[in-house]
Amino acid sequence: MRILVTGGAGFIGSHFVRTVLAGERAGITDATVTVLDKLTYSGNRANLDPVADHPGLTFVEGDICDEGLVDDLVAGHDAIVHFAAESHVDRSIHGAKPFVVTNVLGTQTLLDAAVRHGTGRFLHVSTDEVYGSIETGSWPEDWPLAPNSPYSASKASSDLLALAYSRTHKLDVVVTRCSNNYGPYQFPEKVIPLFVTNLIDGRNVPLYGDGGNVRDWLHVDDHCHGIALALTGGRAGEVYNIGGGTELTNKELTGLLLEACGVGWDRVDYVADRKAHDRRYSVDITKSANELGYQPRVPFDTGLADTVRWYTENRNWWEPLRAKAGL
């Protein structure tokens, strides 16, 4: 299988690429991978260092909005796995234009090229944030979309666009929607690496509002497991939720990170809540379990301990990124 992976130098995309080339993704054998990545602030060639010399990897630095480049690349591939996106809610609140351009227009550029070249499968990686917020229960895939941030609105738009291409052009599209990811190589503006690296450096951590916002936590390897299952076994035109099965309030998560780093609550600064901060996310993975055989496999306590250890041992990876981003 010849796979074009957009955003393949980012956190989740690079994990997918590394594990595919290592032969660790069920159903994907003898794959060659082309990574297309713009290498914006969160894209990092170092994320691909473990497979940099793999004969099956080709890296192309470029923009998914570049129609000519995208057309040339799509022509030589059997499948597209589309990770590339602007994905930080706080950044989208301060300036939404890059989110609309990359997440909507970039996706449209890829979809048009896939139609022209008859791509065998277009897997669009999305987020549970498109559903909005839910007080109780969990979202099934047919739940109405109600995004509350510019980021989630741009992702919902790209979801609908991809599904429309499936219906209009009969393009083989599958959409996955994941819960909050964590694991190694995650850019240190996200909550778990931000808190861990702050605590390692002797700094305090910021906790929004009352800390009662609830998220479902998904290890990046479980997410990539689900993506591989959807890529090889999902039905065209369908959406599949990929969840981790561990719901925590932000305050509970903070307590676990403080404990893991051996510090106390005096290292926490309570800060004003961000705008339109969704209270709770929870995805129903019944469909993914029944149709794809998906279940999360990494216990949260093990995954979190491994993640904290990774950041503790890999200061040379995250310290330059923090400095460059002004974190």
Structure token digits, residue 106: 């970039």
Torsion of CA 245, 249, 251, 254, to 10 degrees: 20
Structure token digits, residue 123: 């897997």
Q: Per the residue annotation, which of 37, 63, 86, 128 is the catalytic one?
A: 128
Instruction: List the one residue out of 6, 35, 11 whose CA is nearest residue 21.
Output: 35
208 catalytically annotated: no
Instruction: List the one residue out of 237, 66, 63, 71 whose CA is nearest residue 160.
Output: 237
**How far is the C-alpha of 287 from the C-alpha of 216, rounded, in Å?**
17
Q: Per the residue annotation, which of 37, 141, 151, 311 is the catalytic one?
A: 151
Q: Measured between alpha carbons, how far is residue 229 from residues 11, 27, 75, 245, 304 in Å?
A: 19, 8, 24, 18, 24
Q: What angle do CA 172, 174, 175 make, to 5 degrees?
A: 150
Q: Per the residue annotation, which of 37, 86, 129, 141 is the catalytic one?
A: 129
135 catalytically annotated: no
66 catalytically annotated: no
**How far is the C-alpha of 155 from the C-alpha of 149, rounded, in Å?**
10
Q: Spell out the residues 6+ positions from residue 258 whose beta carbon is closer than 8 angstroms to its own.
A: 199, 264, 265, 267, 268
**How far is the C-alpha of 141 from the C-alpha of 178, rounded, in Å?**
11
Instruction: List the one residue out of 198, 157, 155, 197 whose CA is nearest residue 178.
Output: 155
**How far is the C-alpha of 149 from the C-alpha of 92, rounded, in Å?**
7
Q: Which residues of 62-79 are buried (b: 16+ CB within 10 A; e: fewer)?
A: bbbbeeebbeebbeebeb
Looking at residue 286, its amino acid is T
Active site amino acids:
128-129, 151
